[in-house]
């Protein structure tokens, strides 16, 4: 029994080490969104390139599409932008841009410089719609199905890996069903 | 060329550290003439290791100073317009650089042990240096294989991406080196323990050798944590000083254990008791340093500090952690039962009080560890994602610290082996009465009865009063008269201890007062507007654009007056800034603080809401500086104690000769 006492520290450490090992392949930033499986919140926002015109997600009914929240002030958005440019070129999936807390002039200048992969860009200047979508940092991207239900959410840049291995397979599945 | 030279120095350092880790250890096990020759490798190898690490670090610094963007690390963490002092600090402002800093400091501690340990028995010294060599080898492999700071970037960019603006601050220049001095310094106590376990030797001499190293490491750790907290206070712009962030916890857990270890070592030295406990604390202390590194570097937990997340790195550190911690704890399980626990002691004695404090500190550490790892455990078991915040830590930490603070007052006054309770009560009843009454009256005199404030103040006053009693007794001669001449009669370690305890009292007072009496508001302010907060009148006078070397921004100008002072001359002008760093586009808040010993007036700018209106955060924080002042006093006390004459070389040599345990074990 006395010897047990001295083994205790190493046993405790073994348990901690096991959890640390299991924890390695988990991403603590990946927070499940309560919106998954719920209808995408409705909104009506001015189109960035023509502010007199309003746009609502109703226009996308019947299609699978991506809603990308970005801003010309956001550096991580520049990282994912080439991925979207390529996706737009392939024509596989329509992307709608939501310029979050961004002045339309800045958004347009940014798109002119880096390319515009968006079917349409809308301006959420005050950030109210982003709140409905639970956005807490840009970029965030939502995959929305034919019935207007959010199926997937990416926090942070959409990388090629995420697009190929998560988003596109899900898109095929949604279109198949 | 410089980068290749640096790479070469690191590779050479790895070879030397492996030689240091293997040869003297083998020599110590073999004995005889060959063994002695192998053990003789330890000293020169340790010094060479230190020299090579200094060289590699110096070369990386040179690359940053010269802004050599063909090196990837420089390109991603420096910029043409970054001022020189931040280019130097940028050396350790990245994952790779901070790991190189870790290696540098570990190598320097190893070199220092080699230089200052001539009085140690040859075998013990060989094993200590060898253990440190093995740890260094692990970190050098980590650097070279997963995080090489000297990797080239092809093609080199014309300008770098700039250092994270949060890190462009004087606090950041000194925080990591100090913290690592403490973190890594615990490796010395660890190496002493491992060497002792292998040799089976733990007597008073062993403790006497290990003590000053541990104390110095503890001092650096204290300063490093305090500076980190101070930096967060003025740089993050939230006005808080401690957030129970996983990485803060990662530095705080080793501190709690190191604090327990410093006290446990004193018992082992003076009384020969607590041996296996001391050894275990030394192992756990350094293990927690390594765990902290793992948590920060692997990205297992989210934190503001996790600037490098790469699973390969995590796997490497975890394997290394398993080897070092698992190995040493196995060694402990195998060898410690034979150590024995030394002479016993009565239920009321300085030993028992120190034991109680040690247990409280360790339990507090366990509670912090639990809170830090709990989200990870739940996530791993698939039970959901949560975060553990200040409510948990406050709820478990304060109740554990309260008795520890109470015992802290009595401990130094109790006798070793067996203390007479009535005598203790007689000596301390005045200290107790004064602290309780003063603690009750102070809040009453301010704004009414506040039980929690009184409780906090009581502990602070109690510790201070006990120190006064102890110091009075120390200065009283045989004739009953107080004389300052008696300062020299007592060892420096005793004075250092009382000084450090006084630091704790100052710290507790600061924490209590700032939590109880701070006032803060976040509000919209327009130029020309004035508000009153915490007895101060704050007037928003104007806005001015600013241009720094690598940022642009806006500066607000505020006049501070005492409330009701009318239009008298302001007691301070404060200019908080909102900066946007050009290279990264990152916004930064620079708080402006009017500091004094009794209170801080703290202003920071949030967001602009209109042409001439901003969100402004204003705080008045009474006694907040006592928090860091207390930490500085603790560290000074520690340094004084470590400088005690009896740890100096000649005294140690004499002790080694006098003790039968002085022969090689």
Per the CB < 8 A criterion, the answer to whether B496 and B639 are in contact is yes
Predicted confidence band of residue B664 (pLDDT cuts 50, 70, 90): very low
Taking alpha carbons only, the member of B514, B516, B522, B530 closest to residue B591 is: B522
Q: Helix, strand, coil proportions of chain B in percent (round to 5)?
A: 65, 10, 25
Query: Is the minimum CB–CB distance between B304 and chain A shorter than 8 Å?
Result: no
Query: Is the minimum CB–CB distance between A36 and chain B shorter than 8 Å?
Result: no
Phi, psi of B566 (to 5 degrees): 65, -130
Of B280, B301, B375, which has the smallest distance from its Cβ to A9's Cβ? B280
**Domain chopping of chain A, boundaries:** 35-176
Predicted confidence band of residue B211 (pLDDT cuts 50, 70, 90): very high
The torsion defined by the Cα of B138, B140, B146 and B148, in degrees rounded to 10, comes to 170
What is the arithmetic mean of pLDDT over A69-88? 86
What is the arithmetic mean of pLDDT over A105-126? 90
**Domain chopping of chain B, boundaries:** 1-168, 522-623
pLDDT in tens, B326-384: 999 999 999 888 887 778 888 888 989 999 999 999 999 999 999 988 888 887 777 77
CA–centroid distance for A9 within its chain: 44
In angstroms and rounded to an integer, the radius of gyration of the C-alpha atoms of chain A is: 21
> Which of A23-37, B289-303, B356-370 ranks highest by mean pLDDT?
B356-370
Answer whether B380 sits within 8 Å of A19, measured CB to CB: yes
Of A9, A19, A27, which has the smallest distance from its Cβ to B329's Cβ? A9
What are the CA-CA distances from residue A42 to residues A29, A123, A132, A142, B212 (Å)? 27, 15, 9, 14, 67
What are the CA-CA distances from residue B215 to residues B335, B492, B641, B647 (Å)? 25, 13, 8, 12
What is the arithmetic mean of pLDDT over B589-601? 91
Taking alpha carbons only, the member of B261, B164, B199 closest to residue B28 is: B199
Give B356→chain A minimum CA distance, Å. Answer: 19
Rounded CA-CA distance A94/B542 in Å is 48
Q: Is the pLDDT of residue B300 over 70?
A: no
Provide the phi-psi class of B272: left if phi over 0, else alpha when psi is between -120 and 50, else beta: left
Two tokens, residue B49 = 């290791």
Predicted confidence band of residue B184 (pLDDT cuts 50, 70, 90): very high
For residue B224, the model assigns a pLDDT of 94
Rounded CA-CA distance A125/A123 in Å is 6
Answer whether B329 sits within 8 Å of A10, measured CB to CB: yes
Q: Is the pLDDT of residue B541 over 90?
A: yes
> Which of A15-19, A106-110, B363-367 ranks highest by mean pLDDT?
B363-367
Q: Return mean pLDDT, chain B.
A: 88
Nearest CA in chain B to A73: B585
Two tokens, residue B587 = 């916004």
Query: Is the minimum CB–CB distance between A10 and chain B shorter than 8 Å?
Result: yes
Q: Is the pLDDT of residue B623 over 90?
A: yes
- Cβ contacts of B310 within 8 Å, gap of 6 or more: B146, B299
Sign of the dihedral defined by the CA atoms of residues B497, B498, B499, B500, in that order = positive
For residue B259, the model assigns a pLDDT of 96
Q: Which residues of A are less than 8 Å from B385 in CB distance?
A: 28, 31-32
What are the CA-CA distances from residue B152 to residues A66, B7, B101, B156, B583 (Å)? 38, 11, 20, 8, 21
Sequential DSSP letters for A26-40? --TT-PPPTTTTSBP
Answer whether A28 sits within 8 Å of B376, measured CB to CB: yes
Chain B 29-68, residues with CB within 8 Å of chain A CB atoms = none
Taking alpha carbons only, the member of A127, A144, A88 closest to residue A111 is: A88
Rounded CA-CA distance A8/B280 in Å is 11
DSSP one-letter code for B128: H
Rounded CA-CA distance B390/B399 in Å is 14
Full 3-state SS string of A37-66: CCECCCCCEEECCEEEEEECHHHHCCCCEE
Q: Is the pLDDT of residue B527 over 80?
A: yes
Rounded CA-CA distance B198/B334 in Å is 10
- Cβ contacts of B237 within 8 Å, gap of 6 or more: B589, B590, B591, B604, B617
For residue B665, the model assigns a pLDDT of 32
Predicted confidence band of residue A160 (pLDDT cuts 50, 70, 90): confident
Rounded CA-CA distance B515/A70 in Å is 40
Residues belonging to chain B: 665
Rounded CA-CA distance B509/B233 in Å is 18
- The mean-pLDDT minimum among A44-53, A83-92, B128-137, B480-489 falls in B480-489
Rounded CA-CA distance B529/B226 in Å is 36
Q: Is the pLDDT of residue B661 over 50?
A: no
Peptide bond into B155 cis (omega under 30): yes
Q: Hey, is B189 helix, strand or coil?
A: helix
pLDDT in tens, B499-513: 999 999 999 999 999
Give percent of chain B above pLDDT 90.
51
Q: Is the pLDDT of residue B303 over 60?
A: no
Q: Is the pLDDT of residue B654 over 80?
A: no
pTM for the whole structure: 0.83
Which residue carries 């080196």 as its tokens?
A: B177
Q: Is the pLDDT of residue B273 over 70?
A: yes
Q: How far apart are the first and last CA of chain A?
A: 63
Q: Count other C-beta atoms under 10 Å from residue B22's C-beta.
A: 16
- The mean-pLDDT minimum among A36-45, A157-166, B332-341, B650-659 falls in B650-659
Q: Which residues of B are less than 8 Å from A6 in CB distance?
A: 276, 332-333, 336-337
Q: Count other C-beta atoms under 10 Å from residue B61's C-beta.
A: 19
Per the CB < 8 A criterion, the answer to whether B343 and B273 are in contact is yes
Q: Is the pLDDT of residue B656 over 70?
A: no
Taking alpha carbons only, the member of B169, B175, B201, B24 closest to residue B110 is: B24
What stretches of A56-146 adopt beta strand conformation (E)?
Answer: 65-70, 95-100, 120-124, 140-144
Rounded CA-CA distance B223/B631 in Å is 7
Q: Which residues of A are less than 8 Å from B311 in CB distance?
A: 24-25
Q: Return mean pLDDT, chain A.
A: 85
Taking alpha carbons only, the member of B152, B175, B165, B46 closest to residue B98 is: B175
Give A80→chain B minimum CA distance, Å. Answer: 16
Q: Which CATH architecture has domain A35-176?
A: 3-Layer(aba) Sandwich (3.40)
> Which of B91-105, B252-266, B324-338, B599-613 ranks highest by mean pLDDT?
B252-266
Query: Is the minimum CB–CB distance between B338 and chain A shorter than 8 Å?
Result: no
What is the arithmetic mean of pLDDT over B630-652? 86
pLDDT in tens, B74-102: 988 888 888 898 999 899 888 889 899 99
Identify the helix (H) or strand (E) that includes residue B589. strand B587-590
Two tokens, residue B254 = 């080793």
Query: Is the minimum CB–CB distance between B144 and chain A shorter than 8 Å?
Result: no
Rounded CA-CA distance B193/B186 in Å is 11
Sign of the dihedral defined by the CA atoms of residues B483, B488, B489, B491, in that order = positive
Identify the helix (H) or strand (E) that includes residue B579. strand B577-581
Peptide bond into B417 cis (omega under 30): no
Q: Is the pLDDT of residue A67 over 90?
A: yes
Taking alpha carbons only, the member of A106, A108, A123, A125 closest to residue A51 is: A123
Q: Which residues of B are less than 8 Å from A26 in CB distance?
A: 300, 376, 379-380
Query: Is the minimum CB–CB distance between B164 and chain A shorter than 8 Å?
Result: no
What is the arithmetic mean of pLDDT over B177-196? 93
Q: What are the beta bridge partners of residue A98?
A: A69, A122
Per the CB < 8 A criterion, the answer to whether A61 and A148 are in contact is yes
Give percent of chain B above pLDDT 70.
95
Taking alpha carbons only, the member of B340, B353, B462, B361 closest to residue B418 is: B353
Q: Which residue has the higher pLDDT, B18 or A9?
A: B18
What is the arithmetic mean of pLDDT over B193-210? 87
Predicted confidence band of residue A157 (pLDDT cuts 50, 70, 90): confident
The torsion defined by the Cα of B454, B455, B460 and B463, in degrees rounded to 10, comes to 130
Nearest CA in chain B to A27: B300
């Amino acid at each position: 029994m006395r010897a047990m006492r001295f083994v205790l520290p190493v046993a405790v450490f073994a348990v901690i080490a096991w959890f640390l090992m299991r924890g390695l392949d988990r991403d603590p930033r990946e927070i499940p969104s309560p919106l998954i499986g719920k209808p995408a919140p409705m909104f009506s926002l001015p189109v960035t390139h023509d502010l007199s015109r309003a746009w609502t997600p109703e226009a996308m009914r019947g299609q699978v599409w991506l809603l990308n929240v970005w801003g010309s002030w956001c550096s991580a958005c520049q990282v994912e932008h080439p991925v979207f440019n390529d996706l737009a070129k392939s024509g596989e999936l329509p992307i709608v841009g939501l310029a979050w807390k961004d002045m339309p002039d800045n958004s347009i200048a940014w798109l002119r410089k880096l390319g515009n992969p968006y079917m349409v860009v809308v301006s959420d200047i005050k950030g109210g719609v982003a709140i409905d979508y639970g956005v807490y940092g840009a970029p965030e991207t939502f995959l929305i199905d034919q019935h207007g239900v959010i199926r997937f959410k990416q926090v942070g840049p959409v990388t090629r890996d995420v697009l190929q291995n998560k988003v596109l397979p899900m898109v095929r599945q949604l279109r198949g069903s | 060329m410089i980068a290749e030279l640096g790479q070469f120095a690191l590779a050479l350092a790895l070879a030397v550290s492996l030689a240091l880790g293997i040869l003297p250890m083998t020599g110590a096990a073999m004995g005889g003439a060959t063994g002695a020759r192998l053990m003789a490798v330890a000293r020169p190898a340790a010094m060479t290791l230190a020299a090579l690490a200094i060289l590699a670090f110096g070369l990386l610094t040179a690359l940053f100073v010269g802004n050599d963007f063909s090196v990837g690390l420089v390109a991603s963490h420096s910029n043409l317009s970054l001022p020189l002092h931040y280019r130097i600090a940028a050396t350790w402002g990245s994952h790779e650089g901070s790991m190189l800093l870790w290696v540098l400091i570990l190598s320097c501690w190893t070199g220092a042990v080699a230089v200052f340990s001539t009085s140690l028995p040859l075998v013990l010294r060989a094993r200590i240096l060898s253990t440190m060599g093995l740890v260094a080898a692990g970190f050098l492999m980590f650097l070279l294989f997963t995080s090489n700071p000297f990797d080239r970037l092809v093609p080199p960019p014309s300008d770098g991406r700039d250092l994270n603006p949060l890190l462009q601050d004087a606090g950041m220049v000194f925080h990591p080196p100090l913290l690592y001095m403490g973190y890594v310094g615990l490796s010395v106590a660890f190496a002493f323990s491992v060497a002792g376990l292998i040799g089976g030797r733990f007597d008073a001499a062993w403790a006497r050798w290990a003590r000053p190293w541990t104390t110095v490491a503890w001092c650096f750790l204290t300063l490093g944590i305090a500076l980190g907290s101070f930096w967060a206070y003025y740089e993050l712009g939230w006005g808080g000083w401690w957030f129970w962030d996983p990485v803060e916890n990662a530095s705080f857990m080793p501190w709690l254990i190191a604090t327990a270890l410093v006290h446990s070592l004193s018992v082992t030295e003076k009384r020969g008791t607590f041996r296996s406990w001391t050894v275990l604390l030394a192992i756990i202390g350094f293990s927690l340093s390594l765990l902290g590194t793992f948590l920060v570097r692997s990205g297992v937990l989210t934190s503001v500090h996790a600037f490098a997340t790469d699973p390969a790195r995590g796997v490497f550190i975890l394997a290394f952690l398993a080897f070092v911690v698992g190995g040493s704890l196995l060694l402990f399980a195998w060898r410690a039962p034979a150590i024995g626990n030394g002479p016993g002691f009565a239920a009321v004695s300085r030993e028992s009080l120190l034991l109680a404090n040690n247990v409280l500190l360790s339990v507090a550490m366990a509670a912090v560890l639990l809170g830090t790892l709990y989200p990870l455990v739940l996530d791993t078991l698939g039970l959901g994602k949560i975060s553990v915040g200040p409510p948990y830590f406050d709820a478990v930490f304060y109740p554990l610290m309260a008795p520890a603070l109470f015992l802290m007052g009595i401990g130094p006054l109790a006798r070793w082996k067996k203390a007479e309770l009535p005598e203790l009560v007689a000596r301390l009843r005045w200290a107790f009465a004064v602290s309780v009454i003063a603690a009750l009256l102070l809040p009453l005199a301010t704004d009414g009865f506040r039980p929690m404030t009184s409780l906090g103040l009581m502990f602070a006053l109690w510790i201070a009063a006990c120190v006064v009693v102890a110091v009075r007794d120390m200065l009283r001669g045989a004739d009953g008269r107080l004389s300052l001449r008696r300062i020299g009669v007592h060892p420096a370690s005793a004075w250092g201890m009382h000084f450090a305890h006084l630091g704790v009292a100052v710290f507790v007072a600061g924490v209590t007062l700032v939590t109880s009496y701070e006032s803060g508001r976040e509000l919209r302010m327009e130029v020309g507007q004035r508000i009153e907060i915490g007895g101060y009148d704050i007037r928003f006078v104007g806005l001015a654009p600013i241009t720094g070397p690598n940022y642009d921004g806006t500066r607000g100008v505020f006049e501070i007056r005492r409330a009701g002072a009318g239009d008298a001359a302001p007691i301070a002008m404060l200019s908080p800034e909102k900066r946007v760093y050009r290279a990264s586009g990152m916004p930064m808040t620079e708080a402006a603080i009017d500091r004094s010993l009794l209170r801080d007036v703290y202003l920071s700018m949030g967001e602009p809401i209109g042409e001439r209106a901003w969100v402004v955060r204003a705080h008045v924080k009474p006694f907040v500086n006592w928090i860091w002042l207390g930490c500085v006093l603790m560290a000074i006390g520690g340094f004084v104690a470590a400088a005690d004459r009896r740890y100096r070389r000649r005294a140690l040599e004499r002790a080694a000769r006098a003790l039968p345990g002085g022969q090689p074990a």
